[in-house]
């Protein structure tokens, strides 16, 4: 387990336990061979393929893999080699974006960020990259569903279990297509509750790379779920607001400024960047006075009458309660509602940002 404080995470080590306690922790395992562990041949494992299916597999529609050099639609086959650096070192980058009504939203922006992230890690693009758009289209079509999430992952590739990146002969590409899951209608109507996380934020270098090392993000989400809510947001060691597990956060100040936490140690979300552009409409309408990034301390955050989360699957989700306190009057505000309308209209109708996935 980990104990969080503002400066460090302190692990509880094996030396903190007696031998007896360690024995209990591993379930009283003995060195005697009491289990008959099967060893399968490829054909025998293939015969068991139906036994390997799980209920959640129904959401997985298709996957392109550099391993297969093609697409599979059976979730049991949607696997990554165990010696891929993506698996044992989190050595890779990824992007996630949505496809609604058969059209991918902001595909070009996501591919550009994917390249930037890979370049920052000295990760070569896989040989399939020039045909990436065709591969994505083929995978979406193979999935047969028009409203999906598209996840792109580029790994250092397989080839060993050390930290040496040069043991991998070539980068690998994985394109996963799965069903989209969005918050319930009631959450947009009533707002959601969030908490402040104690998980330390990433350094600037890692915060601005969309790498596959998402352990801090996982712990932020765990902290939220353990507290009985769905979302948590982080603060840096100087007390400034950062981001959520996979979401950016937006505030509206008493002066009607739309405030986005500075991107120094926050990922530049493609959705929040687009929302900031769309928010200029609200400035023109007089609903907002300005749109800007800022270093936001707790006092400033508590004074804001509106807060909202922003991300690929959320769009713009209003926050009604934060650390047990109501945000504003505890109901979604006008800015959140208007931004949600503008973004959803953009996703549905802005042909300049939509890439058809079906002919």
**Length of the chain as a residue count:** 359
Helix ranges restricted to H, 53-128: 85-88, 107-120
Torsion of CA 164, 165, 166, 167, to 10 degrees: 70
Q: How far apart are CA 154 and CA 125, in angstroms?
A: 7
List of residues 6+ apart from 214 with CB closer than 8 A: 90
Strands 325-326 and 315-322: antiparallel
With cut-offs at 50, 70 and 90, classify the pLDDT of residue 3. low
Q: Is residue 34 pLDDT above 90, yes or no?
A: no
If you average pLDDT over residues 196-218, what whole number do you get? Answer: 97
The owner of tokens 């104990």 is 3
pLDDT given for residue 137 in this prediction: 98
Alpha carbon distance 111, 173 (integer Å) = 13
Residue 309 contacts residue 317 (beta carbons within 8 Å): yes
Q: Please give the positions annotated as active site.
A: 210
Other C-beta atoms lying within 10 Å of the C-beta of residue 87: 17
Q: Which of 42, 146, 111, 106 is nearest to 278 (CA)?
A: 106
Tokens 């109708």 appear where? Answer: 349
For a pLDDT cut of 90, what percent of the chain falls above it?
Answer: 90
CB 61 within 8 A of CB 177: yes
- The C-alpha atoms of residue 237 and residue 160 are separated, in whole angstroms, by 37
Residue 125 confidence (pLDDT):
97
The answer on pLDDT for 1 being more than 50 is no
User: For 280-302, what is the mean pLDDT?
Assistant: 98
Rounded CA separation 242/220 (Å): 12
Residue 359 pLDDT grade (very low, low, confident, very high; cuts 50, 70, 90): confident
pLDDT, tens digit, 9 for 90 and up, residues 134-173: 999 999 999 999 999 999 999 999 999 999 999 999 999 9
The kind and range of the H/E element at 309 are: strand 306-311
Q: Is the pLDDT of residue 32 over 90?
A: no
DSSP alpha helix (H) spans, the chain: 19-25, 42-47, 85-88, 107-120, 132-143, 185-190, 204-207, 215-226, 270-278, 280-285, 298-303, 334-349
Q: Does residue 27 surpass a pLDDT of 70? A: no
Nearest to 217 by CA among 124, 311, 297: 311
**Of the candidates 296, 242, 238, the residue with the CA atom closest to the CA atom of residue 7:** 238
Confidence of residue 19 (pLDDT cuts 50, 70, 90): low
Q: What is the distance between the alpha carbons of residues 64 and 143, in angstroms, rounded to a whole number?
A: 11
Distance CA(98)–CA(51), nearest Å, equals 31
Residue 22 has pLDDT above 60, yes or no: no
**pLDDT tens-place string over residues 259-287:** 999 999 999 999 999 999 999 999 999 99
pTM for this entry: 0.91
- Reply yes or no on whether the pLDDT at 71 is more than 60: yes
Compute the average pLDDT of residues 252-262: 98
**CB-based contact 244:285 (threshold 8 Å):** no
* For residues 53-71, average pLDDT: 97
DSSP class of 211 = B
**pLDDT mean across residues, the chain:** 93
**What is the rounded CA–CA span in Å between residue 344 and residue 350?**
10
């Amino acid at each position: 387990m980990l104990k969080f404080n503002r400066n460090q995470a302190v692990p509880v080590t094996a030396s903190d336990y007696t031998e007896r306690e360690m024995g209990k922790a591993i379930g009283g395992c003995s060195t005697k061979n009491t289990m008959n562990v099967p060893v399968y041949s490829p054909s025998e494992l293939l015969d068991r393929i139906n036994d390997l299916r799980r209920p959640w597999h129904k959401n997985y529609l298709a996957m392109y893999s550099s391993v297969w050099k093609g697409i599979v639609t059976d979730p049991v086959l949607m696997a990554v080699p165990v010696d891929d650096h993506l698996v044992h070192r989190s050595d890779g980058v990824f992007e996630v974006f949505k496809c609604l009504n058969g059209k991918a939203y902001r595909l070009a922006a996501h591919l550009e960020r994917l390249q930037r992230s890979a370049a920052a890690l000295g990760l070569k693009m896989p040989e399939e990259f020039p045909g990436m758009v065709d591969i994505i289209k083929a995978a979406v079509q193979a999935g047969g569903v028009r409203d999906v999430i598209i996840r792109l992952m580029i790994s250092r590739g397989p080839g060993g279990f050390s930290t040496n990146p040069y043991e991998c002969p070539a980068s690998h590409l994985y394109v996963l297509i799965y069903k989209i899951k969005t918050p319930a209608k009631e959450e947009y109507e009533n707002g959601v509750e969030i908490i402040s996380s104690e998980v330390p934020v990433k350094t600037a270098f890692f915060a601005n790379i969309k790498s596959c090392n998402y352990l801090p993000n996982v712990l932020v989400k765990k902290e939220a779920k353990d507290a009985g809510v769905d979302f948590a947001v982080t603060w840096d060691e100087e007390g400034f607001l950062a981001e959520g597990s996979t979401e950016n956060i937006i505030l509206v100040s008493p002066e009607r400024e739309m405030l986005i936490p500075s991107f120094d140690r926050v990922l530049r979300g493609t959705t929040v960047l687009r929302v900031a552009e769309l928010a200029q409409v609200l400035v023109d309408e007089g609903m907002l006075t300005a749109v800007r990034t800022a270093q936001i301390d707790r006092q400033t955050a508590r004074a804001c009458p509106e807060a909202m989360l922003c991300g690929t699957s959320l769009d713009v989700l209003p926050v009604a309660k934060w650390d047990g306190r109501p945000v504003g009057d505890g109901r979604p505000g006008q800015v959140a509602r208007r931004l949600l309308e503008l973004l959803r209209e953009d996703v549905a109708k802005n042909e300049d940002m939509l890439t058809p996935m079906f002919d």
